[in-house]
């Protein structure tokens, strides 16, 4: 399987999950999506991650974003593991975990990196737009848990920049000033951004976030 790139259509698949069988593209519908993989069930870092996503689940819903996890273990194992996750972190898992014991989906998304581990998936993340195209990829080693606040921040940026001719600067958070696209001429800015702008350099112009 070739490496997936930004702008590629996210591969479609059918899968058994903890919330029933699903057809991935159909399940996504018109929503954004986050597909994230885990090395294995009953592992410590993964347990904290899945519980954290359950805590943040309302924030994903607010952003019209569906989340779905994957581990290369079977459905029965997943269902037993969920009980531990819910007990340890006092949460309810509202999103599905894909059962992928034959590694079909893991290989489809190039989630197994043999030089890291020949058997288990690394911590892959794919953010997918309503057009089913891949908007972001991240790959963490098994030893490093993910920062889900960062994923929410990225979704805010992706959704904003999909609708306005702006980019988001380093460490940007929702509500802060954004960068005017270099393709827009100064004379055209007032029509697009009536809140005004600040020219720091001719190529770096800031404006208040347009949808706030």
Segment holding 204, helix H or strand E: strand 204-207
SS3 state of residue 203 = coil
Q: Which CATH class for the 14-146 domain?
A: alpha beta
Question: Which tens digit of pLDDT belongs to each residue from 66-105?
Answer: 999 999 899 999 999 999 999 999 999 999 999 999 999 9
Residue spans per domain, the chain: 14-146, 164-207
- Distance, CA of 86 to CA of 203 (rounded, Å): 49
What is the DSSP pairing of strand 20-23 with strand 14-17?
antiparallel
Q: What pTM value is reported for the model?
A: 0.92
Ranking 29-33, 36-40, 135-139 by mean pLDDT, the lowest is 36-40
Confirm if 136 and 154 have CB atoms less than 8 A apart.
Answer: yes
Fold match between 14-146 and 164-207?
A: no
Look-up: residue for tokens 């347009």?
Answer: 210
164-207 homologous superfamily = Antioxidant, Horf6; Chain A, domain2 (3.30.1020.10)
Q: Is 14 a catalytic residue?
A: no
Catalytic residue, from 35, 46, 52, 127: name it: 46
């Amino acid at each position: 399987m070739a490496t997936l790139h930004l702008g590629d259509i996210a591969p479609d698949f059918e899968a058994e999950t903890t919330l029933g069988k699903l057809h991935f593209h159909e399940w996504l519908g018109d929503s954004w999506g986050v597909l994230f993989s885990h090395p294995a069930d009953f592992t410590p870092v993964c347990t904290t991650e899945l519980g954290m996503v359950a805590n943040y689940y309302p924030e994903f819903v607010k952003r019209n974003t569906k989340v779905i996890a994957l581990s290369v273990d079977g459905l029965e194992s997943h269902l037993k593991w969920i009980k531990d996750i819910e007990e340890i972190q006092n949460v309810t898992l509202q999103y599905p975990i894909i059962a992928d014991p034959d590694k079909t989906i893991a290989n489809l998304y190039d989630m197994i990196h043999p030089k890291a581990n020949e058997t288990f998936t690394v911590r892959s993340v794919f953010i997918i737009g309503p057009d089913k195209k891949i908007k972001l990829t991240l790959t963490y080693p098994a030893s490093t848990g993910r920062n889900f606040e960062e994923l929410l921040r990225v979704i805010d940026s992706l959704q904003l920049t999909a609708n306005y001719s702006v980019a988001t600067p380093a460490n940007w958070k929702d509500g802060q000033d954004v960068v005017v696209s270099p393709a827009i001429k100064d004379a055209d800015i007032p029509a697009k951004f009536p809140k005004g702008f600040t020219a720091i350099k001719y190529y770096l112009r800031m404006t208040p976030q347009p949808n706030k």
